[in-house]
Amino acid sequence: MFSLRQEQMKQYIEQENVVTIKALQQMFPNVSLMTIHRDLDALEMQGVAVKFRGGARSVRYTSDPEFNVRMRENNAGKVQIARKALELIQPNTAIFLDASTTNLALARILPDINLNIITTGPSIALELCRLHNPTVTLCCGTINRKNLALSGQNTLEMLDKINIDTAFIGVSGCSVDAGFTCGTEGDMLVKRKMIHKARTAVLMCGKEKLSCLMPFTFANLEDADYMITDGPLPESFMQAAAKVGLKII
């Protein structure tokens, strides 16, 4: 049986799909952090919520929207981010593009210069076929039909053997507390690996993503070198980024 507080917590999680521990603390200011974690453990044992670092999600909520849905979201912002990203790309270097729709926008405006481009996005690889000078490598792996991204053990093993100058990584959700988040474990492992392997890690994050939280954290603010966005960010986020040396473009 749920306590009244756990029932309220359950309803809130089901309403919001994904919530932070901080939001739950604000909802129950007279309850300790340890008690909130115990309540979440109880909800998880009852099969109505799933805990993750910094929060919890409804069991009904699984991952990012489908690729064709994301393709219709904030297209102007994605183009703005992509144009800024061009400033960080140098000829004769190796870059990684994950399967995000923002990186697809970058692929569409990429100039025809000598580059080694590695990607986990089949749509991005096909878009790059219009160019003659870059060498394009599409990673092997298992394709997620929902987000059109390749991931899995074969993908990770292949990426282990590749050296990257600059990795451009899409972001599904972001906060100071939870860091940079995405919707699937497979994507999380790929993004996390490339952030640590690349000489320069660039996160592509529209300003609307700061109001989103996804189940899997793949990086904290201090793990990236740059964050490219499409508009002004909250002062609290800017201060947190400056504190750890994350450059905002």
Confidence tier at 55 by pLDDT (50, 70, 90): confident
Per-residue pLDDT of 144-170, as tens digits, reads: 988 899 999 999 999 999 999 999 999
Q: Tell me the backbone φ, ψ of residue 20, rounded to 5 degrees.
A: -95, 155
Q: pLDDT tens for residues 66-117?
A: 555 554 555 788 999 999 999 999 999 999 999 999 999 999 999 999 999 9
Q: At the top level of CATH, which class does the domain 67-248 belong to?
A: alpha beta
Residue 160 phi, psi (nearest 5)? -60, -30
pLDDT confidence of residue 246: 97
Look up residue 192 and give its amino acid.
R
The position carrying tokens 């994301």 is 70
**Among candidate residues 215, 154, 145, the one with its CA nearest the CA of residue 180:** 215
CB 142 within 8 A of CB 151: yes
Where are the domains positioned within the chain?
4-58, 67-248
In this model, does residue 1 exceed pLDDT 70? no
CB 139 within 8 A of CB 117: no
In angstroms, rounded to a whole number, what is the distance separating the alpha carbons of residues 135 and 129? 9
Residues with Cβ within 8 Å of 160's Cβ and at least 6 positions away in sequence, in order, are 193
Sign of CA dihedral 235, 210, 217, 197: negative
Residue tagged 């593009």 (tokens):
97
Q: What is the CATH number of domain 4-58?
A: 1.10.10
For residue 123, what are its two tokens? Answer: 């749509």
pLDDT at 74: 59
Q: Classify 160 as helix, strand or coil.
A: helix
